[in-house]
Amino acid sequence: MKLHPNHPVSPLSPLWISHFTATSAIGRGLAPTLDAMRQRKSGLAPCHFDTVDLATFVGEVPGVDDVRLPEELAEFDCRNNRLAQLGLVQDGFAQAVAAAAEKYGARRVGIFLGTSTSGILQTELAYRRRGPADGSLPADFHSATTHNTFSVADFARRLLGLQGPAVVVSSACSSSAKVFASAQRMIAAGLIDAAVVGGVDSLCLTTLYGFNSLGLMSAQACRPFDAARDGISIGEAAAFALLERVPEQLPGDAVLLLGVGESSDAHHMSSPHPDGLGARMAMEQALAASHLEAGDIDYINLHGTATPSNDVAESKAVAAVFGSGVPCSSTKGATGHTLGAAGALEAVICALALRNGLLPGGLNTQQIDAALPLDYLTDNRELPARRVLSNSFGFGGTNCALVFARAD
């Protein structure tokens, strides 16, 4: 049972992304998101979140705290679940899921959501209100339905009326890319017929002060691939996709998930492998799983966090697989790094790029780092892209690459 270290890839059937939606700092739903991409608008602004006293920029979604959860789900009330609900009701996504549950049966639709911090903000706030006598948390703090990492999938499953398998994938910033892999496997195994996949992560003090402690946060809007890049800007987002088997007839601009590659760096908890070895393995596996060669990819949505080390390691990995000729960009200058939601958000951006023939140029980058040998787009490019790849990497050395394609 000896395995090749570069793991065997068993190609799975492509899946149809029958519906998708995204809510981030650049807009609620697909139309404003596409508009922001076309207009090259950034959602990053100086941080005024809660009581945070850090000089940094964030990609905050306006109006999250105006969202009201249904009364019967009141115990789930926290910023992360409000953002989840805000995202799920855009673009008729919740109705599309209801139709899938009707078609296949509610038990045959799974839900796989990525998050890194779930409702931890609720716990942070509760810790400010501990009982003076015994240090206890306030009675209105609900651990299971807000604090717990699973909370967002539990909430979304109930809101959508699903009865199938449910799980949260929480592997830091690869979380909502890896949900595509889990869902694709479970559909291939015949355990479900459709899957809601996505990612939801919301602003909280743990990540803001945490990335600050590591010296990984920029004092200005992040500048991926810039020679003077100096760290990330944290954002928040809720992005979702509905995956189904590919039917016989599809419109030409329908978007497919072709393949996924996953790997681990086995190197360091908070620094990428210096040569991007794990990242390279993930991209190579994603291509193999998609039956594609490197030359078949028309655009790469980079992880592109704008930390010095990520962008170096990622460009080495991309160059090793693709050379320097494939147009690529990071969209984090627009949305911020939405952490556990980044994979799903950038999957939706890729789907919009495929559908509209628009490769989004990266924002904020003044001077591309000459040491990063890629065709990094700083302007939008109109190009009828047919196949694109999206990278997501995270702490713990977790890597995931996704390949999407137009049906035609």
- Between the alpha carbon of residue 192 and those of residues 166, 186, 221, 252, the distances in Å are 11, 6, 42, 26
Whether 286 and 11 have beta carbons less than 8 Å apart is answered as no
Least separation, in Å, of the C-beta of 135 and other proteins? 5
Indicate the residue among 282 and 326 with the shorter CB distance to other proteins: 282
Distance of CA 191 to the CA centre of its chain: 25
Residues 6+ apart with CB under 8 A from 369: 225, 226, 227, 229, 311
Least separation, in Å, of the C-beta of 243 and other proteins? 14
The residues facing 240 across adjacent strands are 21, 198
Least separation, in Å, of the C-beta of 150 and other proteins? 4
Given 19, 142, 147, 337, the catalytic residue: 337
**Which DSSP helix (H) or strand (E) runs through 35?**
helix 30-39
Indicate the residue among 53 and 66 with the shorter CB distance to other proteins: 53
Place of tokens 């979380």: 175
Q: Examine the residue annotation and report whether 303 is marked as an active-site residue of this protein.
A: yes
Least separation, in Å, of the C-beta of 360 and other proteins? 28
Indicate the residue among 69 and 89 with the shorter CB distance to other proteins: 69
Query: SS3 string of 189-247?
Result: CCCCCEEEEEEEECCCHHHHHHHHHCCCECCCCCCCCECCCCCECEECEEEEEEEEECC
Indicate the residue among 33 and 146 with the shorter CB distance to other proteins: 146
The upper half-sphere exposure of residue 361, i.e. CA atoms within 13 Å in the direction of its Cβ, equals 15
Q: How far apart are CA 227 and CA 220, in angstroms?
A: 14
Q: How far apart are CA 173 and CA 269, in angstroms?
A: 13
The upper half-sphere exposure of residue 65, i.e. CA atoms within 13 Å in the direction of its Cβ, equals 6
Indicate the residue among 282 and 345 with the shorter CB distance to other proteins: 282
Given 142, 147, 273, 303, the catalytic residue: 303
Q: Examine the residue annotation and report whether 142 is marked as an active-site residue of this protein.
A: no
Indicate the residue among 39 and 136 with the shorter CB distance to other proteins: 136
DSSP 278-346: HHHHHHHHHHHHTT--GGG--EEE------HHHHHHHHHHHHHHHTT-SEEE--HHHH-B-GGGHHHHH
Q: How far apart are CA 111 and CA 116, in angstroms?
A: 16
Measured N-to-C along each axis, helices 151-160 and 79-88 cross at an angle, to the nearest 10 degrees, of 40
Q: How far apart are CA 393 and CA 310, in angstroms?
A: 9
Indicate the residue among 209 and 230 with the shorter CB distance to other proteins: 209
Given 78, 142, 147, 173, the catalytic residue: 173
Indicate the residue among 333 and 397 with the shorter CB distance to other proteins: 397
Q: Examine the residue annotation and report whether 173 is marked as an active-site residue of this protein.
A: yes
Measured N-to-C along each axis, helices 120-127 and 79-88 cross at an angle, to the nearest 10 degrees, of 150
Q: Which residues are catalytic?
A: 173, 303, 337
